Amino acid sequence: MALFVSHRERRLWFWTLTIVVAIFSTLGLAGALAEQLSESGLTTVGFAAAMLLVGVTVVIQGLRTKPTGAEIGVALGGGSGLSDGSDPDGARGT
């Protein structure tokens, strides 16, 4: 009985194993790198830079598509059916 059904499956499992080995081989480096970044004060800068990149990506992707009326409503209303401040359970102050 063959271990792999096709050449494609063999190639996919090979790359899966390669990626898993790469992830586990960098685990030791991650602790040392985190300590070094923490000592030099770059963790805050790195976090801010990552959030900026995420924000830019969201804006760019948003400009590429034409939103529908429902999407605009969700964006303006926050997507919450309770935007008027009412209590969903009716238990005020308890």
Residue 81 lies in a domain: no
Same domain, residue pair 11 and 34: yes
Number of structural domains, the chain? 2
25 pLDDT above the threshold of 70: yes
Same domain, residue pair 63 and 50: yes
User: pLDDT (tens digit, 9 = 90+) per residue, 26-69?
Assistant: 988 888 888 888 899 888 898 999 999 999 998 888 888 888 88
CA distance 93 to 78: 24
Range of the domain at 46: 42-74
Same domain, residue pair 34 and 50: no
76 pLDDT above the threshold of 90: no
The model's pTM is 0.45
34 Cβ contact list (under 8 Å, min separation 6): 43
Q: Which pLDDT value is given to residue 77?
A: 79
